[in-house]
Amino acid sequence: QFYQHATTEASQATLASVSPVFAVMKLDKEGNTTYFEKKKTELYQELGLQARDLRFQHLMSIATRNNRIIMRMEFLKAVITPEFLLILDYRNLNLEHWLCNELASQLAGEGQLVTYSLPFEFRAIEAILQYRISKLQGRLNTLQPQILETLEALVDPKLLSVDRSKLHILLQNGKSLSELETDLKVFKETILEILDEEELIEELCLSKWTDPQVFEESTSGIDHAEEMELLLENYYRQAEDLANEARELRVLIDDSESIIFINLDSHRNVMMRLNLQLTMGTFSLSLFGLIGVAFGMNLESSLEEDPRIFWLVTGIMFLGSGLIWRRLLSFLGRHLEPPLPPHVPAVLKKSQPAAGRVEIKNNLKAETFGLSRSTLTN
């Protein structure tokens, strides 16, 4: 029995030692920050949650459990209560600047958040959503100039070939843009799921069900559920705007790829036309070269005794070859000449916008459109 008891205690100690431990960062309403480590079992027991609630299976989720809000924004894991905010596993996030310098002041109402007069959970939710939107905006601001610069270099009609290094950069930026579009789509879908359900919006208002004063304010004057809905709609619209900008970049990449193919086809057609002209010249020269072949045979006639015959025959050969080549070129030009454009009546000229308001994307679009017209005409 003593041996069994010792074995049981050792196994329990081993399980306790290997049980997951969270590095927790706690922030209260005043912005005070405390750090501690706690086992997962002890943490969800103190919060009144289940073990599955702290698994964070999705890359982005917003859920409510037992008057607690559980949020995950990619690598950020947070639990919001009416009194404090818990950031789990904060050491591996590389978010020290935001956590230490910005988040505490935002929760204390010193930042520029619009929910400073509302309960604590409003400020916590807005701070996390604002951080996520700012990260997505930063990624888009980094990709946009790189993509525009690469496309501007690739659609240059003077280039006879495409720089593979530029194509490699464009491919990498295209993959990054696809990842950004996916993250924006997940962000929008997560918020839209909450906006479609009024009960979920009500559950996010934690203080409404725990603080009698907040409940009275919600029933008499300030509708906290409506404020929460407006808050989520604001960040949903911001994500929609970012998605539209990313979509414009994607369309610009696709259009520029078409222009690149048109430029390459145009240069290829020029080389094929030159090859055809040289072939026709060779054919003309070979055709009248038969005269020289005939006179070069070992045949006796009275013509080889006259010294002027050589220059006469040579002149006839070159003249005939030139005439035949000219006729073939004119025939080629008539069949490859583009048709005349239809007559377009004169229209009133539109006023040109101010030069300072023209963006680089509009310039690039105009250039690619003009290049496509010129290359198609050629």
pLDDT tens digits along 280-289: 778 777 777 7
Distance from CA of residue 237 to its chain's centroid?
18
Q: Between 242 and 283, name the one with better pLDDT.
A: 242
Mean per-residue pLDDT, 165-194: 90
Mean per-residue pLDDT, 34-42: 87
The answer as to CATH 2.40.128.330 being correct for domain 17-110 is yes
* Span of 123-127, 194-198, 302-306 with lowest mean pLDDT: 302-306
Q: Tell me the C-alpha distance between 122 and 375, whole Å.
A: 57
Residue 207 binned pLDDT confidence (cut-offs 50, 70, 90): confident
Mean pLDDT over each residue of the chain, to the nearest integer: 75
* Span of 129-133, 156-160, 255-259 with lowest mean pLDDT: 156-160
Position 17 scores a pLDDT of: 41
Residue 150 binned pLDDT confidence (cut-offs 50, 70, 90): confident
Q: Could you give the residue range(s) of every CATH 2.40.128.330 domain in the chain?
A: 17-110
Q: pTM (2 decimals)?
A: 0.66
Q: Between 367 and 141, name the one with better pLDDT.
A: 141
pLDDT for 85-137, tens place per residue? Answer: 998 887 766 677 787 778 887 887 765 555 667 788 888 999 899 999 999 99
Position 300 scores a pLDDT of: 65
Residue 245 binned pLDDT confidence (cut-offs 50, 70, 90): very high
What residues are paired with 86 via a beta bridge? 26, 79
Position 265 scores a pLDDT of: 77
Q: Between 3 and 144, name the one with better pLDDT.
A: 144
